[in-house]
Every structure is written in C-alpha cells, then in structure tokens.
C-alpha cells in the first residue's frame, strides 16, 4: 500500500467516525453555570470546610478574579505575587502581579497592565479576600509569606512540625 492509499483510508475512517459523532471536539471549556456553582458552594465543594476544599476554592476564585487560564499559570504562582491591601474606605482587596504566560509573554514591546487586577472583599462566608487569607493561614508558618502558592507533598515534610 502506498502513502496516497494509506492517506485515503485514514481520511475515510475519520469521516465515518465524525458521522458517528466522534472526532474533533472544541477546545473551549464549557462555562460553569450559576446554579452549578451554587451547588458546589452548597455541597461544600467550594469554601473552607475540609483540607482539600480551600485549595479547590482558591483555584476557582483566582481564575475568576484574575483571569488565570490554565494549570501552568496556577503552577507558577508564588505567595509573593499577591498583596493584601485596603482602599481609602478600609475595604480590603488582593492584588496579583502575574508572571509571563502564553498570552502575556512580556517581550520588549509588551505593555504591562496599567493597573494590577484586584479582588475585593465582599463579606460573608464566600468573601474571596477572607477565603484567600484563610488559605494562607493554613500554610506552615515558614511558608505563609513566601514560596509556591500551592504546596505539594514534597514541600511540606520539613515544615510539618512548625504548624
């Protein structure tokens, strides 16, 4: 079988699979609806109810407030990239100094954001600033102001007794 015949066979098979509803799918993620997000909060999949939940909550909140797009952006974040501040009225907010990403590569001609993105306190159990501060307070003391934002098991053993 020559390469032209092989290509025709593969194209034919791909056509049949697409007709069966298989094949290329859109890369875009489906948006989480408000009722589905509400269900995550109500079922304590978001919040601060158990050790794993704050990590998932931070992933969700930081994605929403700072426009983080994927795993690599979250992976490269450090605690030092964030600052907790207050405005003139005393309302707390968190700023995020983002790192270079696939879409914001920071070359010579790249313009920085004129204003750092901010996440404002809203009060209550779902307050993003309160949840952010709670997340940091659960870290080992030596890692509350420095280090990777999300801690992995290999980072923790030497700090376990410092809690």
More confident residue, 95 or 107: 95
Average pLDDT estimate for 53-57: 91
- Dump pLDDT digits (tens) for 97-127: 876 555 555 555 555 666 778 999 998 999 9
Strands (E), 6-152: 82-86, 92-96, 118-120
**Two tokens, residue 158:** 């030497």
- Dump pLDDT digits (tens) for 127-144: 999 999 999 999 999 999
Percent of the chain at pLDDT exceeding 90: 42
- Dump pLDDT digits (tens) for 11-26: 888 888 877 777 666 6
Alpha helix segments (H runs only) across the chain: 3-19, 34-42, 53-66, 71-75, 128-137
The whole model's pTM is what? Answer: 0.70
**CA–CA separation, 58 vs 131, rounded Å?**
8
**Contact at 8 Å (CB) between 46 and 53?**
yes
Q: What pLDDT does 163 receive?
A: 41
**CA–CA separation, 76 vs 63, rounded Å?**
13
């Amino acid at each position: 079988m020559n390469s032209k015949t092989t290509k025709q066979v593969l194209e034919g098979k791909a056509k049949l699979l697409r007709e069966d509803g298989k094949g290329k799918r859109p890369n875009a993620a489906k948006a989480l609806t408000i009722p589905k997000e509400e269900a995550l909060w109500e079922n304590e999949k978001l919040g601060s109810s158990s050790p794993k939940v704050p990590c998932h909550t931070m992933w969700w909140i930081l994605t929403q407030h700072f426009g983080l797009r994927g795993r690599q952006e979250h992976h490269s974040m450090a605690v030092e990239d964030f600052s907790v501040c207050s405005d003139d009225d005393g309302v707390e907010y968190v700023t995020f100094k983002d790192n270079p990403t696939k879409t914001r590569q920071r070359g010579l001609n790249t313009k920085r954001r004129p204003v750092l993105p901010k996440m404002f306190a809203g009060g209550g159990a779902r307050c993003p600033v309160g949840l952010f501060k709670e997340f940091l307070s659960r870290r080992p003391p030596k890692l509350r102001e420095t280090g990777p934002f999300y801690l992995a098991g290999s980072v923790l053993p030497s700090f376990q007794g410092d809690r």
